[in-house]
């Protein structure tokens, strides 16, 4: 089996309304996002998938988290945050923990791999590669991961 990893970086804030201590307050992280992709055989260009195709397919989705504040839909401060920063809030149906970020990104990448992607000469054919995992680093020493295995 062949594997590749494409890494993205975003500066991302969140508030964890269920947290009993400081993490319930707005704070931010430099998040490194690793997307690990596998294939049993290489494509006609001798690749699992072109790194640039992967970047083009995922960049706009991942960029929505850059320089934004993630907040739980049930958080009492949601309205005030949206009023203060109309384009700077990303709403989650649960607390936007790093584990939840990883699952959200995993689900999006899975949908791209099922439907395929093309931008100019860069492409990902439907159902030709498998997403193994998405790992999101919250700090230099802490990460969360989502995978099907």
Give the CATH number for residue 31: 3.30.479.10
SS3 at position 85: coil
Asked if pLDDT for residue 123 goes beyond 90, the answer is yes
Percent of the chain whose pLDDT exceeds 70: 100
Residue 55 lies in a domain: yes
Residue 92 lies in a domain: no
Residues forming beta bridges with residue 89, ordered by sequence position: 69
Asked if pLDDT for residue 149 goes beyond 90, the answer is no
Residue 43 lies in a domain: yes
Residue 73 lies in a domain: no
Residue 103 lies in a domain: yes
- Please count the structural domains in the chain: 1
SS3 of the chain: the string is: CEEEEEEEEEEEEECCCCCCCHHHCCEEEEEEEEEEEEECCCCCCCCCCCHHHHHHHHHHHHHCCCCEEEEECCCCCHHHHHHHCCCCEEEECCCCCHHHHHHHHHHHHHHHHHHCEEECCEEECCCCCEEEEEEEEEECCEEEEEECC
Residue 76 lies in a domain: no
Tokens encoding 61:
């989705």
Residue 75 lies in a domain: no
Q: Which domain holds residue 6?
A: 2-67+98-147
Q: Tell me: the pLDDT tens digits for 47-106?
A: 999 999 999 999 999 999 999 999 999 999 999 999 999 999 999 999 999 999 999 999
Residue 134 lies in a domain: yes
């Amino acid at each position: 089996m062949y594997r590749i990893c494409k890494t993205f970086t975003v500066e991302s804030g969140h508030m964890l309304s269920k947290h009993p201590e400081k993490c319930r307050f707005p704070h931010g992280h430099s998040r490194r996002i690793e997307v690990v992709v596998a294939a049993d055989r290489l494509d006609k260009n001798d690749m699992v998938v072109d790194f640039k195709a992967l970047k083009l397919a995922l960049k706009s989705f991942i960029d929505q988290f850059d320089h934004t504040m993630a907040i739980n839909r049930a958080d009492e401060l949601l309205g005030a945050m949206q009023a203060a920063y109309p384009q700077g809030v990303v709403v989650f149906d649960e607390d936007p923990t790093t584990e939840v970020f990883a699952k959200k990104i995993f689900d999006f990448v899975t949908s791209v791999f099922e439907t395929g992607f093309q931008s100019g000469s860069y492409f990902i054919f439907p159902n030709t590669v498998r997403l193994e995992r998405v790992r999101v680093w919250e700090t230099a020493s802490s990460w969360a991961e989502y995978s099907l295995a």
